[in-house]
Amino acid sequence: MYTLEMATAFKSIVPPENFKVVILENNDFLTILIDPEDIEALSDEQAEPAVKYINDVKKALENEGAIVFVVRDVLKD
């Protein structure tokens, strides 16, 4: 399901500093996994570029034909 075109589209988007996502491949869809600790560590000024990055990644993958879910892990105590 995760094609070369999808990988190229994903890698072409530059993530904000100190922020990353992981792409998980499933049979029928892709999942963008976000680490909640990465989100928690963002300042207000860093949050907007991070959200834009997540949206850009989702759109780029969808433009290449993927069904995309965005999830985050559970925040640890």
The total number of residues shown for the chain amounts to: 77
Position 73 scores a pLDDT of 81
**Per-residue confidence of the chain (77 residues) as pLDDT tens digits?**
899 999 999 999 999 988 999 999 999 999 999 999 898 899 999 999 999 999 999 999 999 999 999 999 877 76
**SS3 label, residue 50:** helix
Domain borders along the chain are 4-72
The packing angle between helices 44-63 and 4-11, to 10°, is 160
At CA 33, angle to CA 39 and CA 24, rounded to 5? 160
Total-model pTM: 0.91
Q: What CATH number does domain 4-72 carry, 2.60.40, 2.30.42, 3.40.50, 3.30.70?
A: 3.30.70
